[in-house]
């Protein structure tokens, strides 16, 4: 008998299956960029089959394609996960009942269980789990039902892969799989359907404990109870296991928003972090002019030990525009490592939109909480263009809080309000226009309560901005004297404006020195103070320049009076 050879997969199919396999096994993580040129080089093909493969995967819900961000692995959000699993709860148990009633073979399901048992890595177990469930519904005899479940299984596998990273439940699910298969092999169609329904529902409860147990019971199928045939406790709504103390995947799943899809997220912890002293650490250099990682870590620890709760690496006081791409990444990573949950990390990003998006994604991967978007450095800024710029960045990192850094007095409150409507993760504004009256108007036009308003001109302007709506302020001085900045914060929070002005008088000369020559000495004075204290070198990079000797002596005298 002649046997026709299997067709050779096209280049597009080859790339498509390889990328899909990497996504479903977790080697490509949600939100990860899929660069056509890199994939083409990896697979030894041109960019055309890569592009076609990514389009197909986008149609199947595994990839997101956008004009600005390119292609990325789909970020799992709770709304998508609930939708997928609600449909599975309705359809998959019914398909299994039909399979059992038809006395169809289930050898493939048994083989999948054996592969799962033999697998020694999450990728192998994930694929075996996917194959097991398909083997249950594939022989159901209803091609339309099979096709509908096939269309869901890739998205379901993506949700499962993310959930298992947070709450590994392989052993529990293996037990449930065996119970399902045992009932099916016994010819108990209703029992197998109940067991499968309870298995899917128990996964939803483990993954999303903040949500009530699904009530979408199948017609004629009751929630299971009693004992299994082997006498072991049944899993189901009548015998729920205690919830695991492990953080729920619903807290770790990316709660994303695309241009047509929004998912609510609790931003209150990030808003609280912004309503504080937001420290802008300096970036110290070693004798060779490179970033001094050890000195930077020591400065961060000093801030954290001093009570600082929010830090912004790659801010202007950190010489953002003088750092290379790799140096900015290094500073971000060092900050996240040192903060380690003690403070919120708000990473400065900027330059052109593509560079800012790349930096924001790196901040997310490093473990930052928020990004601060530097004022676009462009001589011609339209209100709509300003919104587009920030929207592009916000949509690239939907898991992070976003804080525009606003220094342009021409940006109106209406533009900020519109950005907030389109991007719920834009939770605060760092406002740095030298006009408290203008700030009061803009904040009210944009939404005084919608955003956390951070006075971006540091301690000298904090009292006036606080009086008209600010609830936090940025600080470079905090590098030198954390207690002084926190004293001002405490006075402002207490409504003690005379007390706040005492601090203002204490720091006035120091801040005036920083403001000299149109703020040319902004960073230089802070580093000079730290050098006088022996905490880092005074070196700054062009276009900044070290202080002349008379000014150095004055800075040292001020620091000595502060007794820090």
Residue 290: how many CB atoms within 10 A of its CB?
A: 10
Per residue in 203-222, pLDDT tens? Answer: 877 766 654 433 333 223 23
Between strands 428-431 and 452-455, the pairing is parallel
Q: How far apart are CA 441 and CA 375, in angstroms?
A: 20
50: part of which helix (H) or strand (E)? helix 47-59
Question: In the prediction, which pLDDT does 67 show?
Answer: 58
Select from 461, 459, 476, 486 the least CA-distant residue to 529.
476
Residue 522 CA from chain centroid, whole number: 32
Domain(s) of CATH 1.20.120.530: residues in the chain: 78-239
Per residue in 509-544, pLDDT tens? Answer: 999 999 888 888 999 999 999 999 999 999 999 999
Q: How far apart are CA 22 and CA 29, in angstroms?
A: 9
3-class DSSP state for residue 452?
A: strand
CATH hierarchy code of domain 78-239: 1.20.120.530
* Integer-rounded Cα radius of gyration of the chain: 29
**What is the pLDDT confidence band of residue 325, given thresholds at 50, 70 and 90?**
very high
Measured at the CA of 368, the angle between CA 366 and CA 371, to 5 degrees, comes to 120
Question: In the prediction, which pLDDT does 68 show?
Answer: 55
Question: In the prediction, which pLDDT does 2 show?
Answer: 47
As a whole number, mean pLDDT of residues 274-303 equals: 97
What is the DSSP secondary structure assignment for residue 454, as one 8-state letter? E
**What is the pLDDT confidence band of residue 328, given thresholds at 50, 70 and 90?**
very high
Q: How far apart are CA 25 and CA 163, in angstroms?
A: 12
Question: In the prediction, which pLDDT does 23 show?
Answer: 82
Residue 279 CA from chain centroid, whole number: 21
Percent of residues, the chain, with pLDDT higher than 70:
85
Question: In the prediction, which pLDDT does 254 show?
Answer: 35
**DSSP symbols for 4-46:** PPPPPPPHHHHHHHHHHHHHHTTSS-TT-EE-HHHHHHHHTS-
Q: Which residues have a Cβ under 8 Å from the Cβ of 131 and sit 6 or more positions away?
A: 108, 112, 115
Residue 97: how many CB atoms within 10 A of its CB?
A: 23
As a whole number, mean pLDDT of residues 292-306 equals: 97
Q: Which residues have a Cβ under 8 Å from the Cβ of 29 and sit 6 or more positions away?
A: 73
Percent of residues, the chain, with pLDDT higher than 90:
52
Architecture in CATH for domain 268-492:
Alpha-Beta Barrel (3.20)
Q: Which residues have a Cβ under 8 Å from the Cβ of 488 and sit 6 or more positions away?
A: 459, 462, 463, 473, 500, 503, 504
Is residue 465 within 8 Å of 439, Cβ to Cβ? yes
Domain(s) of CATH 1.10.10.10: residues in the chain: 11-73
Cβ burial of 535 (10 Å; 0-12, 13-18, 19+) is middle
Select from 108, 132, 106, 128 the least CA-distant residue to 117.
128
Q: How far apart are CA 420 and CA 416, in angstroms?
A: 6
Question: In the prediction, which pLDDT does 529 show?
Answer: 96
3-class DSSP state for residue 383?
A: helix
Per residue in 479-514, pLDDT tens? Answer: 999 999 999 999 999 999 999 999 999 999 999 999
Question: 172 — phi, psi (to 5°)?
Answer: -60, -45
3-class DSSP state for residue 130?
A: helix
Length of the chain: 564
**What is the pLDDT confidence band of residue 241, given thresholds at 50, 70 and 90?**
very low
As a whole number, mean pLDDT of residues 254-283 equals: 71
Question: In the prediction, which pLDDT does 251 show?
Answer: 37
Per residue in 89-126, pLDDT tens? Answer: 889 999 999 999 988 888 988 888 888 888 777 667 77
Q: What mean pLDDT, rounded, does the chain reach?
A: 84
Task: In the chain, count H helices and then E strands.
Answer: 22, 11
Per residue in 40-93, pLDDT tens? Answer: 888 888 888 898 899 888 887 788 886 556 788 887 777 777 778 888 888 999
* Per-residue pLDDT at 8 exceeds 50: no
Q: How far apart are CA 415 and CA 386, in angstroms?
A: 8
Hey, what CATH topology would domain 11-73 get?
Arc Repressor Mutant, subunit A (1.10.10)
**What is the pLDDT confidence band of residue 11, given thresholds at 50, 70 and 90?**
confident
Question: 362 — phi, psi (to 5°)?
Answer: -65, -40
Question: In the prediction, which pLDDT does 165 show?
Answer: 63
Which ranges in 253-378 belong to alpha helices (H)?
268-274, 293-305, 325-339, 353-366
Is residue 430 within 8 Å of 398, Cβ to Cβ? no
> Tokens 């998912």 belong to which residue?
263
Domain(s) of CATH 3.20.20.70: residues in the chain: 268-492
Residue 407: how many CB atoms within 10 A of its CB?
A: 17
């Amino acid at each position: 008998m002649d046997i026709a050879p299997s067709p050779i997969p096209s280049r597009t199919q080859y790339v498509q299956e390889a990328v899909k396999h990497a996504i479903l096994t977790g080697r490509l993580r949600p939100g990860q960029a899929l660069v056509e040129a890199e994939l083409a080089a990896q697979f030894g093909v041109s960019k055309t089959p890569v592009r076609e493969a990514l389009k197909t995967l986008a149609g199947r819900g595994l990839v997101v394609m956008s004009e600005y961000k390119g292609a990325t692995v789909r970020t799992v959000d709770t709304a998508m996960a609930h939708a997928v699993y609600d449909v599975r709860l309705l359809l998959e148990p019914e398909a299994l009942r039909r399979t059992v009633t038809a006395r169809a073979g289930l050898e493939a399901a048994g083989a999948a269980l054996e592969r799962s048992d033999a697998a020694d890595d999450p990728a192998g177990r994930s694929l075996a789990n996917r194959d097991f469930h398909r083997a249950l519904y594939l022989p159901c005899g209803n091609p339309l039902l099979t096709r509908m479940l096939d269309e869901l299984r890739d998205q379901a596998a993506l949700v499962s892969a993310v959930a298992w990273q947070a709450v590994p439940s392989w052993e529990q699910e293996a037990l449930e799989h065996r119970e399902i298969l045992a009932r099916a092999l016994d010819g108990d169609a209703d029992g197998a359907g109940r067991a499968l329904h309870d298995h899917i529902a128990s996964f939803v409860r483990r993954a999303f404990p903040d949500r009530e147990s699904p009530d979408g019971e199948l017609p004629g199928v009751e929630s299971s109870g009693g004992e299994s045939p082997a006498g072991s406790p049944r899993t189901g709504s009548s015998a729920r296991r205690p919830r695991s103390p492990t953080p729920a995947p619903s807290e770790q799943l990316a709660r994303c928003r695309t241009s047509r899809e929004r998912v609510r997220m609790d931003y209150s912890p990030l808003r609280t972090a912004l309503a504080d002293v937001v420290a802008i650490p300096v970036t110290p250099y070693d004798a060779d002019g490179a970033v001094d990682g050890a000195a930077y870590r020591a400065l961060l620890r000093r801030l954290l030990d001093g009570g600082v709760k929010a830090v912004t690496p790659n801010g202007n006081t950190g010489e953002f525009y003088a750092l290379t791409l790799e140096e900015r990444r290094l500073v971000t990573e060092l900050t996240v490592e040192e903060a380690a949950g003690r403070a919120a990390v708000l990473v400065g990003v900027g330059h052109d939109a593509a560079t800012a998006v790349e930096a924001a994604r790196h901040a997310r991967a490093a473990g930052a909480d928020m990004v601060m978007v530097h004022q676009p450095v462009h001589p011609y800024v339209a209100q709509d263009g300003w919104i587009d710029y920030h929207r592009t960045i916000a949509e690239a990192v939907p898991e992070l809080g976003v804080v525009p850094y606003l220094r342009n007095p021409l940006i109106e409150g209406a533009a900020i309000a519109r950005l907030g409507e389109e991007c719920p993760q834009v939770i605060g504004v760092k406002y740095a226009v030298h006009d408290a009256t203008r700030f009061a108007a803009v904040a009210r036009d944009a939404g005084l309560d919608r955003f956390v308003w951070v006075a971006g001109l540091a301690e000298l302007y904090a009292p006036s901005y606080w009086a008209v709506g600010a609830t936090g302020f940025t600080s470079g001085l905090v590098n030198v004297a954390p207690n002084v900045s926190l004293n001002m914060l405490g006075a402002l929070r207490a409504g003690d404006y005379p007390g706040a002005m005492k601090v203002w008088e204490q720091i006035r000369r120091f801040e005036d020195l920083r403001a000299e020559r149109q703020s040319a000495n902004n960073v230089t004075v802070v580093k000079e103070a730290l050098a006088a204290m022996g905490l880092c070198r005074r070196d700054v990079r062009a276009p900044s320049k070290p202080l002349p000797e008379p000014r150095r002596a004055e800075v040292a005298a001020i620091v000595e009076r502060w007794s820090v």
